[in-house]
Amino acid sequence: MLQFFSKYKFLAVVLFVLSAIIITIIYNILKPTEILPVFQPSQVSSEMVDSTLQHVKKYHVIADFALQNQNGKTITQKDYNNKIYVADFFFTTCQTICPVMTDHMLEIQEKLKNDTDILLLSHTVTPEIDSVAQLKKYAIEKGVNDAKWNLVTGDKKEIYTLARKSYLAAKDNPYEENDLIHTENFVLVDTQKRIRGFYDGTDPEAIEQLLHDIEVLKKEK
């Protein structure tokens, strides 16, 4: 019996390896390709969607914008053409969730520092305080890479409209001058300006999911 197994040991090893390869190939063929959803206003919690958009079921994209970044440059949609990006809303004097969110954005920046297809975009919700100079000071203190991450300020109503009607990232309330949007949402946007995911910017596990989803989105591109 031992002589039999010894004689055919090489063949058995070959058959085992071939079987493993065949099983792996079949698994990869049958395994469905992971695809991220395209979020439409009708699919998002109604409290996060402006009442004028709650019926929209398709074609929702991020609206055009023109805002100033930490270097005084006007940033528009053209700066994000053919890019995947992560957007959020913060303010430099925030002492609660914003520092954690900024740290997580820095983590994303570091992990994707060599990937020029991925950008970051943070909108201040207190533009009356966060001037270009203030954003620049904050960017230097935090270690923001200007080539990858824009901190933007500008017209408050434009920023709040973007949060509520484009990014679907803030509770639907009529705009008032003294409003203060305070949202922990990170929003993943694809190369076609569509929303592909929402993530809690204060949750480390959500950030890991975001990084995973970025890789999924890159394959789709």
Known binding residue 60? Answer is no
Other Cβ atoms within 10 Å of 83 Cβ, number: 16
Contact 130, 92 (CB under 8 A): yes
Q: How far apart are CA 57 and CA 2, in angstroms?
A: 69
String of DSSP letters for 99-146: HHHHHHHHHHHHHTTT-TTEEEEEEES-TTT--HHHHHHHHHHHT--T
Helix (H) or strand (E) holding 68: strand 66-68
Burial class (CB in 10 A: 0-12, 13-18, 19+), 179: middle
Q: Estimate to the nearest angstrom the gap between the alpha carbon of 157 and the chain centroid.
A: 23
String of DSSP letters for 70-91: TTS-EEEGGGGTT-EEEEEEE-
Other Cβ atoms within 10 Å of 66 Cβ, number: 13
Known binding residue 55? Answer is no
Known binding residue 182? Answer is yes
User: Which segments are annotated as binding site?
Assistant: 94, 98, 182
User: Which segments are annotated as binding site for Cu cation?
Assistant: 94, 98, 182
